[in-house]
Amino acid sequence: MASSTKSSAKPSSKKSKSSKNGKSSSSGLDNSGVSGVTDNLELYRQMYLIREFELACGENYSKGLIRGFLHLYIGQEATGVGAISTLRDDDYVVSAYRDHGHALARGLDVNRSMAELFGKATGTSKGKGGSMHLFDVAKGFMGGHAIVAGQLPLAAGLALAQQYNDTDALTICFFGDGSTNQGLYHETMNLAAIWKLPILFFLENNMYGMGSSIERVRAGGVDFYPGMATYGIPAAEVDGMDVLAVKEASELAVARIRNGDGPQFIEAKTFRFVGHSLADGQKYRGQEEVKEWEERDPVVTFPAKLIEMGLATADQIAEVKASVDEAVATAVKFAEDSPEPELSEIHNDVLA
């Protein structure tokens, strides 16, 4: 099949637009913005950490130290980091199989996350979950789910419990455009809406479900947020390459949910710069399309803008990089040096 370089969802510089009452606009990068220097540097640190972690994953996959399927988040860092930065400790985060970025943004231990990918006893799931099934209940990170759209009702149930317990905590559920043609996507939207659940549906629309462009597999174009009108769920679109725009859109949605307004929906247009998994040769798309998006790489553009705007110094950025590089190297070493799970572990954790 001929590769297509055409995309009706070109990378754009627009910050966000909204449907229904999902009104939001990014203040962007200026001195009067809500994000202070420390926050900006932390956002950058997390994005850079995810990027370096993923690069290390790819490297160790090539070495055969990580096996199974490995789906990297490279290119999508601004979405998870921006959205998760708006949460509280008592909120839940639910992800799909491309979960490393969300896990790290939620503060999962870098060493234990890497050890899980290496299948080691020190991993977050003691080596029983792997790349697609990261969990840290103490941090409210409820997985890591590898059946497409399967995590949506789980997230609704977590939100149901938060509502049931009369808290103002919420659940954020990440999913990709690939999940939107599953029945569960529609079933869960309906359920969340009729029960007014405290849930933020966060669609990371990276334009491809594995090797299928959404233009090929979805009737109705590349925009999903207008469809939320069907369920009466307020929905906004945001530039997923702009971490501050994502953060701001998420803050607005989170505030509404805590206010008791029920489910909210954000669609971030984003892009993975790499294949679906490490087994993907990307024959289904042209490199020009990838390059176009790479020009807007948040891990590169965000620190550059911070320096340009005088919100961070080159030294500060370099310091962040150095500490992250060290942390990732330490994590790989930790994972390599960690013991394999005992064979007796096979029978543990099947039943309570």
Partner 1 sequence: MPEIVLREALKRGLEEALENDPRVFIMGEDIGEYGGAYAVTDGFLKKFGEKRIKDTPISEQAFLGAGIGAAAAGLRPIVEFMSMSFTLVAFDQIVNMAANLRYMSGGQISVPMVIRAPTGAGVQLGATHSQSFETWLAEVPGMKVVCPSTPYDALGLMRSAIKDNNPVLVAEPALLYGAKGEVPDEYYEIEIGKADVTREGSDITLVSYGYGMRPVNDAAGTLEGRGVSVEVIDLRSLAPIDMDAIIASVKKTNRVVVVDNARRRGGVMAEVTADLQQAASEWLDGPVMRVGSVDVPWPYSRGLEQEVLTDADDVLAAVAEGYGL
The Cα 21–Cα 19 span in angstroms is 6
Number of shown-chain residues binding partner 1 (CB under 8 A): 44
Which segment (78-86, 157-165, 237-245, 271-279) binds partner 1 by CB under 8 A? 157-165
Please pick, from the candidates 54, 91, 109, 136, the single residue that binds partner 1 as defined by CB under 8 A. Answer: 136
Which segment (77-85, 132-140, 272-280, 300-308) binds partner 1 by CB under 8 A? 132-140
Please pick, from the candidates 18, 24, 162, 250, the single residue that binds partner 1 as defined by CB under 8 A. Answer: 162
The reply to whether 113 sits near partner 1 by the rule CB under 8 A is: no
Cβ burial, residue 25 (10 Å; 0-12/13-18/19+): middle
Which segment (40-48, 218-226, 270-278, 343-351) binds partner 1 by CB under 8 A? 343-351
Residue 198 CB, nearest approach to partner 1 (Å):
12
Which segment (21-29, 65-73, 96-104, 119-127) binds partner 1 by CB under 8 A? 119-127
DSSP H helices in the chain: 37-62, 77-84, 100-105, 110-117, 151-164, 183-194, 214-217, 243-258, 287-294, 298-308, 314-337
Q: Answer whether 282's CB lies under 8 Å from 275's CB.
A: yes
The b/e string for 230-269 (b: 16+ C-beta within 10 A; e otherwise) is ebebbbbbbbbbbbbbbbbbbbbbbebbeeeebbbbbbbb
- Within residues 185-244, the interface with partner 1 by CB under 8 A covers 187-188, 190-191, 194-195
Helix (H) or strand (E) holding 22: none
32 vs 165, beta carbon nearer partner 1: 165
184 vs 311, beta carbon nearer partner 1: 184
The reply to whether 4 sits near partner 1 by the rule CB under 8 A is: no
Parallel, antiparallel, or unpaired for β 264-269 and 235-239? parallel
- Within residues 248-277, the interface with partner 1 by CB under 8 A covers none
The reply to whether 174 sits near partner 1 by the rule CB under 8 A is: no
Please pick, from the candidates 153, 211, 226, 232, the single residue that binds partner 1 as defined by CB under 8 A. Answer: 153
Residue 351 CB, nearest approach to partner 1 (Å):
5
201 CA to centre of own chain = 12
- Within residues 92-111, the interface with partner 1 by CB under 8 A covers 92
- Which sign does the torsion angle of CA 17, 22, 25, 31 carry? negative
158 vs 235, beta carbon nearer partner 1: 158
Please pick, from the candidates 95, 124, 206, 213, the single residue that binds partner 1 as defined by CB under 8 A. Answer: 124
Residue 143 CB, nearest approach to partner 1 (Å):
7
Residue 181 CB, nearest approach to partner 1 (Å):
15
Q: Answer whether 134's CB lies under 8 Å from 125's CB.
A: yes
Q: Answer whether 96's CB lies under 8 Å from 227's CB.
A: no
